[in-house]
Amino acid sequence: MIPALVLPALAALVVGTVAAPPHRRLHPSIGARALALVAASVALGTFAAVATLAVGFLSSVPRLSEYLSWCTRLTRTHDSIPTVIGLPAVLVLATMTGALIRAGGRARRSRAPLRSPAELLVVDDGRPDAYAVPGRPGHIVVTAGMLRLLEPAEREVLLAHERSHLRHGHHRYLAVAALATAVVPLLGVVTRRLRLAVERWADEDAAAAVEDRELVARTIIRAALATRDLEARPSLGLGRVGVPARVEALLDPAPVALFGPPSLAVGAGVAGLAIVAGSVLQVHHLFAFAAHVCGV
């Protein structure tokens, strides 16, 4: 039972972390969605596997078993779990839960609503900087220094780029990845690729808005060179993540539309992975649990 529980989790973990970066010719919106799904599936699967082991182990401890009797339906069909595996599982579960709670708290705290009648908020600061602040409605925060640095056409690129972050809710993808990475630190690789994918997505939207790929590339380079002295910080900014790769992609032809054969292939791969990860969830346990709680 233990290998059956752990192997799919390991498989999902390996696939999730070494999965090739989304293909260059694909629209980055596909890559971003796929990566967020991978991160969520792997984290959920791993968490469920560890939780099942931990609860199974704890319920075999005599003093605890009566407190945990409500969930014997979850565990009684399986062999008892040896201490060598059970105890670490309990510790890992505690660590994961702690990390999850901390990450959730961080995400909540960083949400400071800005009340403004305008879409654009300018901070009177000479250092060039720009980022999107999600909300209802979201806002684009730009420093006066950044606006002075760019020409009017480049400012349109900047605004279109940040608008894309807000319109597609890119912060939600990043929040999913941040929570998943809190549970499974190995998913940091997926998070990095996801950050690049959402920036590429916003770049492509900006290129479509101004109908000039080279103008977008030029704007990103200028913003990146100007902001390179700023402290790196995890926000959705124009010239911050994966700049060389993004410029290269913009100087290539536009990526293919959403529903070509390559995107179907990626979709199938991701669906397969999600199923593998989902199998770790051992859905029948959830049904048994729900039936038990509902008194069926």
Residue 115 CB, nearest approach to another protein (Å): 6
Cβ proximity to another protein, 3 vs 117, nearer residue? 117
Cβ proximity to another protein, 68 vs 120, nearer residue? 120
Enumerate residues 3-32 that contact another protein by CB under 8 A: none
Q: Determine if 275 is a binding residue for another protein (CB under 8 A).
A: no
Residue 145 near residue 127, CB atoms below 8 Å: yes
The neighbouring-strand residues paired with 120 are 140
Q: How far apart are CA 85 and CA 74, in angstroms?
A: 18
Among residues 102, 110, 160, the alpha carbon closest in space to that of 135 is found at 110
Q: Determine if 243 is a binding residue for another protein (CB under 8 A).
A: yes
Cβ proximity to another protein, 34 vs 177, nearer residue? 177
CA distances from 254 to 34, 158, 217, 239, 276 (A): 20, 19, 13, 20, 33
> In this structure, what token pair is assigned to residue 148?
């002075």
Q: Determine if 253 is a binding residue for another protein (CB under 8 A).
A: no
Residue 277 CB, nearest approach to another protein (Å): 22
- CA-CA-CA-CA torsion for 90, 96, 98, 103, nearest 10 degrees? -170
Cβ proximity to another protein, 50 vs 223, nearer residue? 223
CA distances from 60 to 39, 56, 81, 124, 293 (A): 32, 7, 8, 63, 21
Stretch that binds another protein, among 10-18, 50-58, 67-75, 133-141 (CB under 8 A): 133-141
Q: What is the SS3 assignment for 94?
A: helix
Q: Determine if 208 is a binding residue for another protein (CB under 8 A).
A: no
Residue 8 near residue 280, CB atoms below 8 Å: yes
Enumerate residues 146-165 that contact another protein by CB under 8 A: 147-148, 150, 152-153, 155-156, 159, 163
Q: Determine if 210 is a binding residue for another protein (CB under 8 A).
A: no
Residue 261 CB, nearest approach to another protein (Å): 31
Residue 247 CB, nearest approach to another protein (Å): 6
Report the residue from 133, 176, 207, 280 that binds another protein according to the rule CB under 8 A. Answer: 133
CB neighbour class for 78 (10 Å; exposed up to 12, middle 13-18, buried from 19): middle
Q: Determine if 241 is a binding residue for another protein (CB under 8 A).
A: yes
Enumerate residues 83-122 that contact another protein by CB under 8 A: 110, 112, 114-122
Q: Determine if 228 is a binding residue for another protein (CB under 8 A).
A: yes
Q: What is the SS3 assignment for 260?
A: coil
Report the residue count for the chain: 296
Helix (H) or strand (E) holding 139: strand 139-143
Report the residue from 48, 142, 276, 288 that binds another protein according to the rule CB under 8 A. Answer: 142
Residue type, 44: L
Phi-psi category of 20—alpha, beta or left, where left has phi over 0 and alpha has psi -120 to 50? beta
Q: Determine if 235 is a binding residue for another protein (CB under 8 A).
A: yes
Q: Determine if 252 is a binding residue for another protein (CB under 8 A).
A: no
State the residues that interact with another protein by CB under 8 A: 110, 112, 114-125, 129, 133, 139-142, 144, 147-148, 150, 152-153, 155-156, 159, 163, 188, 191-192, 195, 214, 217-218, 221-222, 224-225, 228, 231-235, 240-244, 247, 251
